[in-house]
Structure 1
């Protein structure tokens, strides 16, 4: 198929995007709720949880390059990357559910269970998401069309993010009926089944079209050399590490920020103003609120679930606003270049993150303003990260005549996992260092630690990421040149 005919059908874009809905069921749960689940429901210490995250994610990060190398060498009638999505779909959904069980093994047994199930989950994520991410780079050789696929993918990712942010905590409260462990198990069991279905649809609807140069011979050493000698790849590696460190520190800390720092009555009053609170007793809620109440999205008369509903509301509102940025990412990148858009977006996001420090327990208005600013800045960067990695694969092929798409994406996922590990460890260690104790009123020092973790500390990696991007060499003009020269080369294949 010639480059001129590489436009991707809508059905295929939608099918591919479902894979990121599924991935975000796991990914958002991990970023936003995992630490709080382990500390407040399972009963593990924050230090133990932070250490587990760091150890397992750093060890598991080694799996990503192995998966990438294996995927690049996979040869089937379905292609290189699609078979991995098929084979991992069912285990992924099942183990996702197992992670959120809290068996009565005693504290030592619970910690071992957490280590085992979480290690399995992260390995399955590697085996699934490394090929899934690389798949976008071989669906079409057209950089603009890849950016278009990325828009579909990340709008769909926001749907997954929206569902997890809106439904998880309210459903845990609703389905648990006072038993947090049961609520998590039932809620995540439902999500796990949905994950399986979506991955199977992704496999069935996608196709691989870009192949390595026909003269390229499999060589792990050559792939390693091509990757580590690629300056743009090194920049993207460090950037990814910093971005996902921030996302985990901020996301995890916001759970504690809402549950312990913000004034519960102020949250309830704000939610009442947007129609999400009710003075009615159980069974007395009627109309459209009854549907929301069934999902746990209405604040109870006693206000006990106000932090859970409030956090879900702010996450969901942010996701909806973020869609605007994702939709605008392609036209903005086409006009100004991906690098410039990414730097601008991260700058806005870093400022909005840090300014939340000045939110008082009752100043919901300021929190609303900053919660609007944050996704407006972050939205355009979401698809650009992954599109830029595909551009780096093109850059490497242009420079070396070797293409190792899977290996390059695997290296970036290594950085992602390392960021998740570092962010998870920091989120646990930081609040522990300030004296956090679960399920009790916090001291002033502990509250300071929660505030700093959700704001100033979370903004620091973003600032470092902006500095890192200044060294990224693929601007708009060079990217166009690479596309044109590679297209000429491929005419001879």
Structure 2
């Protein structure tokens, strides 16, 4: 391989990160609102929605993702291995995201069939786009410090997408649907599809693959799989990825129910008034009306309004945490910073179990601290996965970047499938009734347990696993130096 210890320009980092912003406009919508969309907008029973989310997630994890990993590592074009897939999937990704959040007039069985078909196709195209995109981060540069920086840029973009989805999606749905949620989702996803397609094209045109396997390297599928089986850091990171995304899907999908049915409406309204938030929205609408524009249709009910503010505060603090990620990792190593910050964030999740319905301020403060510490971990997870690809090359003298990332994305899909299905499954098990004026005590207890104790368990297990992860700061340096030496030697004329 050629020497890849090159710095990345700010333009390339921004261009690459726009691909994650595009993908996460859809991904964050799936994580946060798919169960809600199926149950409360498309009117699919909660148990059936859970089955669809779980089954398609497993299909993506165990069929689409491994197949795409093998295909991407064996792709050879003048643009590289991974960049062309970002180009080829840009338009299909946008079109299918629109179809998946459409609500055609169908009978109950027709709705189930439509949801299953569109979600399956969307997951297939998502894999064909996002796996090569993720693997691209491992071949833009071989410099581990530059990867830390690239991950920080990337996940600021992710947080921007998350802010748009978790804070502004419901207002956008109301604005673009004129109060009709079904039409609002369709129109909002149309905007996301267009913006996402443009951003994917920018990613393609602003990036370049630098870590290129030598012409002499050749490996069979069997060798790639054996390399994975012998790669202990990969095994640990696979398990950690599953656990992290179980948490993200479970808490992300359950928070809206927590605000709608557990926290006190009266206290939520009082909190918004005391904070001056309602006055801010009223002033914004007065300003917009004064210049002849339509009003900003923020959700009028206190739970939805407070939920959006809750997400906004958390995301802003995650972005702040991301800013601390690179300097901490450069000093103490990714492993130590990741595990310490993840543990701290978990403690603030557990606190949710002990808060009564009127403790709105404590809920907000806990989520702020949870967001900050979790934000530190966000870039490190994917930077460590790129390090695992380097570790495999260092140990086996063969590089299979997409195969490594496909395994991790397999874990991501499993985690999302389990976590997403748990949202609908817990609701069904505890007797949740969509759009009921009030839920049963059993349903409310299930919601409260899900956002605290059940969400904390995967994070605590991930922290425990990091004690077995061997790529610490000294080994990071050794791997980077050894690989650079090998690539320089390979580049010398024979």
TM-score by length of 1: 0.95
**1:307 CA displacement:** 2.0
> Any residues of structure 2 matched to 1:183-222 within 5 Å, and which?
183-222=184-223
CA contact (8 A) 2:25 2:162 kept: yes
CA contact (8 A) 1:258 1:307 kept: yes
CA contact (8 A) 1:393 1:405 kept: yes
**1:272 CA displacement:** 2.5
1:106 matched to which residue of 2? 107
Q: Does 1:230 align with 2:231?
A: yes
Instruction: Please give the alpha-carbon distance, in whole angstroms, between the structure 2 residues aligned to 1:277 and 1:108.
Output: 42
1:53 matched to which residue of 2? 53
CA contact (8 A) 1:139 1:207 kept: yes
Which ranges in structure 2 are unaligned for 5 or more consecutive residues? none
Cα shift readout 1:64-107 (whole Å, capped 9, x = no counterpart): 11111111111111110000000000110111111111111011
Which is worse superposed, 62-71 or 131-140? 62-71
1:452 matched to which residue of 2? 449
> Any residues of structure 2 matched to 1:301-450 within 5 Å, and which?
304=301, 306-440=302-436, 441-450=438-447
1:241 matched to which residue of 2? 242
**Residue 356 of structure 2: SS of its match in structure 1?**
coil
Instruction: Please give the alpha-carbon distance, in whole angstroms, between the structure 1 residues aligned to 2:284 and 2:347.
Output: 44
Cα shift readout 1:182-203 (whole Å, capped 9, x = no counterpart): 1111111111111111111101
Give the direction of change, closer, same or farther, for the CA distance of 1:414–1:4 in structure 2 (3 Å limit).
closer
Give the direction of change, closer, same or farther, for the CA distance of 1:5–1:464 in structure 2 (3 Å limit).
closer
CA contact (8 A) 1:278 1:285 kept: no
Which is worse superposed, 401-410 or 47-56? 47-56
CA contact (8 A) 1:150 1:387 kept: yes
1:268 matched to which residue of 2? 269
CA contact (8 A) 1:8 1:145 kept: yes
Instruction: Please give the alpha-carbon distance, in whole angstroms, between the structure 1 residues aligned to 2:386 and 2:361.
Output: 40
Instruction: Please give the alpha-carbon distance, in whole angstroms, between the structure 1 residues aligned to 2:84 and 2:71.
Output: 12
Q: Does 1:138 align with 2:139?
A: yes
Instruction: Please give the alpha-carbon distance, in whole angstroms, between the structure 2 residues aligned to 1:425 and 1:485.
Output: 44
Instruction: Please give the alpha-carbon distance, in whole angstroms, between the structure 2 residues aligned to 1:308 and 1:96.
Output: 24
Give the direction of change, closer, same or farther, for the CA distance of 1:239–1:289 in structure 2 (3 Å limit).
farther
Instruction: Please give the alpha-carbon distance, in whole angstroms, between the structure 1 residues aligned to 2:202 and 2:450.
Output: 39
**1:368 CA displacement:** 1.6
Cα shift readout 1:204-247 (whole Å, capped 9, x = no counterpart): 11100101243211411111111121000000000000100111
Which is worse superposed, 81-90 or 154-163? 154-163
2:482 matched to which residue of 1? 485
Which ranges in structure 1 are unaligned for 5 or more consecutive residues? none
CA contact (8 A) 2:3 2:211 kept: no
**1:27 CA displacement:** 1.3
Instruction: Please give the alpha-carbon distance, in whole angstroms, between the structure 1 residues aligned to 2:12 and 2:38.
Output: 38
Instruction: Please give the alpha-carbon distance, in whole angstroms, between the structure 2 residues aligned to 1:86 and 1:280.
Output: 40
CA contact (8 A) 2:219 2:398 kept: no
Give the direction of change, closer, same or farther, for the CA distance of 1:280–1:144 in structure 2 (3 Å limit).
closer
Instruction: Please give the alpha-carbon distance, in whole angstroms, between the structure 2 residues aligned to 1:159 and 1:271.
Output: 23
> Any residues of structure 2 matched to 1:157-196 within 5 Å, and which?
157-196=158-197
**1:279 CA displacement:** 11
Match of 1:476 among 463, 473, 477: 473
**1:110 CA displacement:** 0.5
Q: For this pair of structures, how many residues does the alignment match?
A: 487
Give the direction of change, closer, same or farther, for the CA distance of 1:3–1:51 in structure 2 (3 Å limit).
same
Give the direction of change, closer, same or farther, for the CA distance of 1:487–1:276 in structure 2 (3 Å limit).
same
**1:2 CA displacement:** 6.6
CA contact (8 A) 1:64 1:411 kept: yes
CA contact (8 A) 1:213 1:401 kept: no
Give the direction of change, closer, same or farther, for the CA distance of 1:271–1:38 in structure 2 (3 Å limit).
same
Instruction: Please give the alpha-carbon distance, in whole angstroms, between the structure 2 residues aligned to 1:280 and 1:125.
Output: 36
Instruction: Please give the alpha-carbon distance, in whole angstroms, between the structure 2 residues aligned to 1:443 and 1:27.
Output: 31
Instruction: Please give the alpha-carbon distance, in whole angstroms, between the structure 2 residues aligned to 1:10 and 1:362.
Output: 46
CA contact (8 A) 1:170 1:308 kept: no
**1:284 CA displacement:** 10
**Residue 19 of structure 2: SS of its match in structure 1?**
helix
**Residue 138 of structure 2: SS of its match in structure 1?**
helix
Cα shift readout 1:342-374 (whole Å, capped 9, x = no counterpart): 111111121111111122222111112101111
1:153 matched to which residue of 2? 154
TM-score by length of 2: 0.95
Give the direction of change, closer, same or farther, for the CA distance of 1:433–1:289 in structure 2 (3 Å limit).
farther
